[in-house]
Amino acid sequence: MPLIVVPTPLGNLRDITLRALDTLRDAELIVAEDTRVARKLLSALDLPGKPCWSYREQNASSVTEGILQRARDGVVALTTDAGMPGVSDPGTALIAAARASGVDVDVLPGPSAALGVAVLSGFPLDRFSFEGFAARTARERSSGFLRALRSGVTSIWYESPRRIRATLESLDAIDPAARMFLVREYTKLHEQQILGTPSELAAALQEPVRGEIAFALAPGTPPAIDDESVVGWAQLDDAIDALLAAGERTNDIAKELAGRGRGTRGELYDRVVERKRSKGDAATGERPAR
């Protein structure tokens, strides 16, 4: 019997496929990232009462063998909160374990925000890269974007609504003319599509930014600057983030960094306020649809 990977709708329930419905209906066990989300989906699809097991990074080591045993005896459907399991969501390790244990695996075609934004962008897709979430630290984020711009291929990214402005600032600092395409709330009622430069995207996003975000970055030729020049300003953000994490107040951070020669107290104060506003929080639970 197989482990069947079942993509779930990103937002619009009509995106569920007939094969996905058949699999969920016939499955003896539903494996879900969040069983509460899975039960809501099953209820909306008129499939209530299905047994659901949770599978996520925190409990994978303790539940994997039990899931595989059930897959040896019957049909097990692997789902995620939205989109394709394994794409920046739990699932890859379970699939690898199933392969290693001789359990058959099948993957149904279905929704993926990464492919949706890639095609919608109109950017070249003969080759492209999926980069997942942008790095949290300013320096790593800037280095990643610089590498992507120089790669010669379109890159696809996910981002939190709480970090998107910091991400756009990083890109604007590297290449103000970079071509981007952003989708917020893909397939949902308030879907927003934006094409333009980093600053144009930032201007088009309303405050507070809400919803799930994916964006495409076209290959480009950023200004002729070395990597250290690009990340020099990013190191300032890293210093601010470290002081914020230590519980320092905005005024004290601006004063301390001014004393280090990193700028005027007024400029630094404004920067700290911006960092506090745009800094992401992994505990929010907000993530792009897959």
Distance separating alpha carbons of residues 128 and 121, to the nearest angstrom: 12
pLDDT, tens digit (0-9, with 9 covering 90-100), for 105-141 = 999 999 999 999 999 999 999 999 999 999 887 778 8
Asked if residues 262 and 239 have their Cβ atoms less than 8 Å apart, the reply is yes
Which tokens is 1 given? 């019997």
pLDDT, tens digit (0-9, with 9 covering 90-100), for 157-205 = 999 999 999 899 889 988 999 999 999 999 999 999 999 999 999 999 9
Distance separating alpha carbons of residues 186 and 166, to the nearest angstrom: 21
Look over the chain and give the mean of its residue pLDDT values, rounded to a whole number. Answer: 88
Could you tell me which of 198, 140, 188 has the C-alpha nearest to residue 168?
198
Q: Give the global pTM.
A: 0.76
Unique residue bearing structure tokens 């280090």: 260
Asked if residues 205 and 164 have their Cβ atoms less than 8 Å apart, the reply is yes
Helix, strand, or coil here: 284?
Answer: helix
pLDDT, tens digit (0-9, with 9 covering 90-100), for 21-30 = 999 999 999 9
| Range with the poorest average pLDDT among 48-62, 73-87, 249-263, 273-287 | 273-287
Unique residue bearing structure tokens 């094409």: 195
Q: Where are the alpha helices (DSSP H) in the chain?
A: 18-26, 35-44, 60-73, 92-100, 113-121, 138-150, 164-174, 198-204, 227-245, 250-259, 265-278
Asked if residues 188 and 195 have their Cβ atoms less than 8 Å apart, the reply is no
pLDDT at 282: 36
pLDDT at 261: 65
Unique residue bearing structure tokens 């939205």: 82
Residue type, 85: P
CB atoms within 10 A of CB 44: 12
Asked if residues 84 and 111 have their Cβ atoms less than 8 Å apart, the reply is yes
Which tokens is 2 given? 């197989």
